[in-house]
Chain A
C-alpha cells in the first residue's frame, strides 16, 4: 500500500509539471468592411500587438488551436450575394494580393437581408485553417472582404475573429 501511494505521489508530481499551460480565447475586432461593384474588395490591417489580450499572453502562446468568427452581413443589393473573407500577409490594399488565403466562404445573403453568423455557425464557412493560422501567428496581416457573385452590394459588420490559443493562462 505504501509503495502504491509513493508511486502515485510521484506521478502527481510528474503531471503537475504539465499543468502550467491551458487554452484561452483572444478576441480580434476587425470591424466593418463594405464592397460593391465599384469597390470590389475592402480590407483591414490587423496588428495583434494592438490587442491587450494578445499582448498579455504573447510570450506564452504555443499554438492557435482553432479560430471562429462572429459577424453580421448586410446585402443592400437587389440580388442574393455571397461574401468571402481572405487573409494575407500583404499590407498594400491598392489591389487584391496574389498571396492570399481563403478564410471564410459561402456567406450567402438574400437581397435586402442581414445575416448574423454566430461563433458555432462560422465553423461551417471556415476554410484553410492551417494556412491562416500561420499568417495570423506572424502577428501582422490583412483581412479582405469581397464577393464571389456579381452584382453585389455587401457590408460585413462587427467582424470579430476569436482565437483559441494554447499557452500559459
Chain B
C-alpha cells in the first residue's frame, strides 16, 4: 500500500511541476473525517482520510483520482450466553481504496460557494488483520455530494458526504458492506480561475 500511496503522491507532484499544469486548471488536496458503517453490527463509527486531484474535462464535469483510507471503529457485542452476560470488543476492519470519481456540477474552483455531485469506482481492499480471515479486494462503488467554498482563486475548503458500497461475491458468499463518510478537506488550485 505504501508504494501505491508514494506513487500517487509522486504523480501529483510531477503533474503540478510541469509547464502544462499551468495551461489548465486543476487542484490537489487532502481530506479527513468520519466514516459511518451502515447496518453493520460488527463495526462502529471510525475515521477516514485521503488525497485527491481534480482534473476538469469540461466546465461542468471533471475526474478525481483519489486515495481513501477508512478504519471502522471497534464493535461491541453483548455476549448473552449462559456463563457470560458481558460486553466484549471486536476489532473492526479497514478499507483501502484507490479510485476515480466523476464530478458533475460547479467544479472549477470559483471563489465562493460551489456544489457538485460525485459518482465513482475504486479498487477497494477490506482487511480484518486476522491471519486466518483473508482480505477481500473488490470494486467499490461511490456516490455523494460535495460543497466547495473558494476562499480565493487558489484555495478552497470543502465538505463532502459520500457513500461506499463494497459488494463481494466469491461464488459462495455474496453480500455487501456500506459506509457513509463525511469529510472536510482543503484543496489548492493550480492554473488561472476561469481557465479550463
Binding site for B on A (CB under 8 A): 1, 3-5, 7-8, 11-12, 14-15, 18-19, 21-25, 27, 29, 62-66, 68, 70, 72, 118-120, 123, 126-130, 133-134, 157-158, 160, 162, 164, 166-167, 169
- The smallest beta-carbon distance between A65 and chain B, in angstroms, is 7
Which of A3, A19, A126, A167 sits near B178, CB closer than 8 Å?
A19
Q: How many residues of B contact A (CB 8 A)?
A: 44
Which of B43, B81, B105, B173 sits near A23, CB closer than 8 Å?
B43
CB neighbours of B132 from chain A (8 A): 123, 126-129
Knowing A4-B117, A64-B173, A128-B132 are in contact, say whether A162-B41 is a contact too (CB < 8 A).
no
CB neighbours of B89 from chain A (8 A): 118-120
Which of B42, B91, B145 sits near A120, CB closer than 8 Å?
B91
Are A65 and B117 neighbours in the complex by a CB distance under 8 Å?
A: no
Are B90 and A15 neighbours in the complex by a CB distance under 8 Å?
A: no
10 new A-B contacts at CB < 8 Å, known A8-B143, A123-B132: A19-B178, A23-B42, A27-B79, A27-B80, A63-B175, A65-B175, A66-B133, A123-B130, A166-B175, A167-B175
Question: How far apart sit A3 and B116, CA to CA, in the bound complex (Å)?
Answer: 10
Are B167 and A18 neighbours in the complex by a CB distance under 8 Å?
A: yes
Question: How far apart sit A11 and B121, CA to CA, in the bound complex (Å)?
Answer: 13
Closest residue of chain A to B89 (Cβ to Cβ) is A120
- The smallest beta-carbon distance between B92 and chain A, in angstroms, is 10
Are A126 and B106 neighbours in the complex by a CB distance under 8 Å?
A: no
Task: State the main secondary structure of chain B at its contact with A.
Answer: strand
Q: Which of B91, B128, B134, B173 has the most CB of A within 10 A?
A: B173
Q: Which of B43, B132, B168 has the most CB of A within 10 A?
A: B132
19 A-B pairs in the complex with CB atoms less than 8 angstroms apart: A8-B117, A11-B119, A11-B143, A14-B143, A15-B141, A15-B165, A21-B39, A22-B39, A23-B177, A27-B79, A65-B173, A72-B83, A119-B79, A123-B130, A128-B132, A133-B173, A134-B172, A157-B83, A160-B81
Question: How far apart sit A141 and B167, CA to CA, in the bound complex (Å)?
Answer: 29
Closest residue of chain B to A128 (Cβ to Cβ) is B132
Closest residue of chain B to A70 (Cβ to Cβ) is B79
Question: How far apart sit A122 and B151, CA to CA, in the bound complex (Å)?
Answer: 51
Are A70 and B84 neighbours in the complex by a CB distance under 8 Å?
A: yes
